[in-house]
Amino acid sequence: MSQRPAPSLLLLFLLMIPGVCSQWSGRGVSYSPSHICALQGSSVIMSCSYIYPTGHQIMKVYWTKTSIKEKNEEYPDLSKDPEYSQRLQYLGDKQQNCTIRLSHVTLKDSHEYYFKFITDKDDGRYIGKPGVTLTVTDLQVESPERVTEGDSVRLTCKSSCTLTDRATFIWYRNSQQLTTGIIGNQLDLGRVSRKDKSRYSCGVYGHSYRSPAVQLNIRYPPENPVISISPSGEIKKGDSVTLICSSDSNPPAEISWFKRGMFVGSGRIFNISKISSDDSGEYKCRSINEHGEKYSDAVTLNIMYPPRSVSVSISIIQSGHICSGDSVTLICSSDSNPPALNFSWFKENESSAVGSGQSFSALQSGRFYCQAHNQHGSQRSDDVTVTVHHGDGINVIVIAVTSGGLFFIIIIIIIILFIMRKRRDDQTEDLTVKQISDPNEDTCTALELKSTTSDLYGTLTTVHPRAPEDSCRTLDPQSFSKHENPSINRKMLQ
């Protein structure tokens, strides 16, 4: 028949196993384990057993974290401490078990804790020293300080001590749990790209605590920049326009602006106040950092503005010849956006229009001007003076314009002279005075630029009479010396 060992001997044997055993005069306390590393927010079990002398009766048991008491005072009871009272649970008894549970541990709970019991004897006060050491740790994600796109990267979930309980680590990216790349307390991301630029955190399976998230700082060249325009609708002269260049890059890129390839500004925002037609054109932005550069696609600023630069031009009927009864056509043109479609013609000192449309036939003498219109406004041209002289069967039409129109007249004269010379060279017979018809018949005249004393005006004068045929002919001015009528000769050579 087997015999069971006495309880005191069994307890003494248990107290001798690895751990901390504090004995004194038949009294003893054992903690297992003596050092605990716990995750912040978790619950901790502090296993504890004790023995006391035979014949003593346990009167009180409790835990404390004070190793030295004040004179004539007891060690403070943790169960009465407001910071512990709601979290501390005694799981033992008043015989041999002194185990407790401490819930929701925080970093401030890191301390050394002791079990104390009191018996009914006068000398029955005993505290188990050394006690059990609790270290509470949080978790931190450790990442490389500098990562460039294409680098191989591993993240580490670190704690200040090795967790007592076997831990299975969990990883999160942007709060979404990951299932691949986890190796112990590390996360293997492989070769990273800009899409891996996320927030990473870690935790331990079975615990609600999660580390603070860490932004993985991946450096990469700019993406293709994109330009946005504000306002996005129609842009009118005088508006304030803002161009914004957007380009993802790390580190942030420097932005430069170009118009038709020429540098015009820097910064992500390019503002044009009181925009004018001169600001029309194609714009690009360039995004550049230490890893590369990219240019945006071109955007076009199309500025709406009223007509401007309205210089009436002259069109002469019948390929540069004016015959008796013909007219001079004045043509109005302007620079505007959108193009001007409405044109009005006015005669000086008359309030109502004398014509409309882009062209106008001047049949009488006077000072004329045109006015061009679009939906953004209007502008008038300089005056054009048309003078018609009637006499001896010859119409002499004099057109005076400001210096701005002189350029167009010179071009017309050059064309006319070229045609006259070509026709003269092609003639197979000499032109004589006999070929000139009666002065009272219809005349055909060419245009000749006459000099004036003013640089601001050019004069067009009809000088040649019509030939007998139906078509108009051009005469050599030298032939007028043979003309039988000196008065007609003088009129032609004026």
Tens digit of each residue's pLDDT (9 = 90 or more) over 306-337: 787 787 776 654 434 445 555 678 888 888 88
On the question of pLDDT at 473 being above 60, the answer is no
pTM: 0.54
Q: Please tell me the predicted confidence (pLDDT) of residue 225.
A: 95
* DSSP structure class, residue 392: T
7-137 and 226-301 agree in CATH topology: yes
Nearest to 493 by CA among 469, 471, 462: 462
Nearest to 228 by CA among 303, 304, 297: 297
Between 472 and 232, name the one with better pLDDT: 232
Percentage helix, strand, coil for the chain under 3-state DSSP, each rounded to 5: 15, 40, 45
Domain 7-137 has CATH 2.70.210.12: no
Domain boundaries, the chain: 7-137, 140-219, 226-301, 307-493
Q: Torsions phi, psi of 440, nearest 5?
A: -80, -10
21 C-beta neighbours (distance < 10 Å), count:
20
Relative to beta strand 20-24, strand 27-31 is antiparallel
Between 396 and 494, name the one with better pLDDT: 396
Tens digit of each residue's pLDDT (9 = 90 or more) over 52-110: 888 888 999 999 998 776 655 678 899 999 999 999 999 998 889 999 999 999 999 99
Q: Which CATH superfamily is domain 140-219 in?
A: Immunoglobulins (2.60.40.10)
Q: Measure the CA–CA gap between 15 and 468, rounded to whole angstroms.
A: 147
Q: Measure the CA–CA gap between 204 and 483, rounded to whole angstroms.
A: 121
Going 319 to 320 to 325 to 327, the CA torsion angle's sign is positive
Question: What does each C-alpha distance from 350 to 54, 357, 369 come to in angstroms?
Answer: 136, 18, 11
- Reading phi first (left if > 0) and then psi (alpha if -120 to 50, else beta), residue 415 is in alpha
Q: Side chain identity at 307, as an amino acid letter?
A: P
Between 27 and 344, name the one with better pLDDT: 344
Specify the range with the lowest mean pLDDT, choosing from 37-46, 269-278, 428-437: 428-437
Q: What's the CATH code, domain 307-493?
A: 2.60.40.10
Tens digit of each residue's pLDDT (9 = 90 or more) over 118-166: 888 866 678 898 999 999 999 999 999 889 999 999 999 999 999 998 8
Specify the range with the lowest mean pLDDT, choosing from 162-166, 347-351, 355-359, 456-460: 456-460
One CATH from 3.40.50.300, 3.40.190.150, 3.30.465.10, 2.60.40.10 for 226-301: 2.60.40.10
